[in-house]
Amino acid sequence: NRVDESIVLPSGTGQDTRIVVFAEGETALRAEDIADEVLDGEDLEDLGDDDNAAKDLADETDFFIAEANLMQDIGRYLGTVLGPRGKMPTPLQPDDDVVETVDRMKNTVQVRSGERRTFHTRVGAEDMDADAIADNIDVILRRLFTDLEKGPQNIDSVYVKTTMGPAVEVPA
Indicate whether 134 and 57 sit together in one domain: no
Work out the end-to-end distance of the chain between its first and last CA atoms, rounded to an integer number of angstroms.
Answer: 23
Indicate whether 157 and 118 sit together in one domain: yes
154-165 pLDDT, tens digit per residue, is 788 888 988 888
Let me know: does 123 contact 107? Beta carbons within 8 Å: no
Helices and strands, number each (H, E), in the chain = 6, 8
Q: Of the residues 105, 121, 156, which one is the last residue of a structural domain?
A: 105
Indicate whether 55 and 98 sit together in one domain: yes
Q: Which CATH number does the domain housing residue 94 bear?
A: 3.40.50.790
SS3 at position 153: helix
What domain range includes position 146? Answer: 4-11+109-170
Indicate whether 100 and 146 sit together in one domain: no
pTM of the model: 0.80
Give φ, ψ of 38 to 5 degrees.
-120, 125
85-128 pLDDT, tens digit per residue, is 888 999 988 888 889 999 889 999 988 887 777 888 889 888 89
Indicate whether 101 and 117 sit together in one domain: no
Distances 43 to 21, 62, 71, 151, 165 between C-alpha atoms, Å: 11, 19, 14, 44, 40
Indicate whether 98 and 121 sit together in one domain: no
Let me know: does 86 contact 4? Beta carbons within 8 Å: yes
12-49 pLDDT, tens digit per residue, is 888 888 999 999 989 889 889 898 999 988 888 888 88
Give the chain's domain count: 2
Amino acid identity, residue 143? R
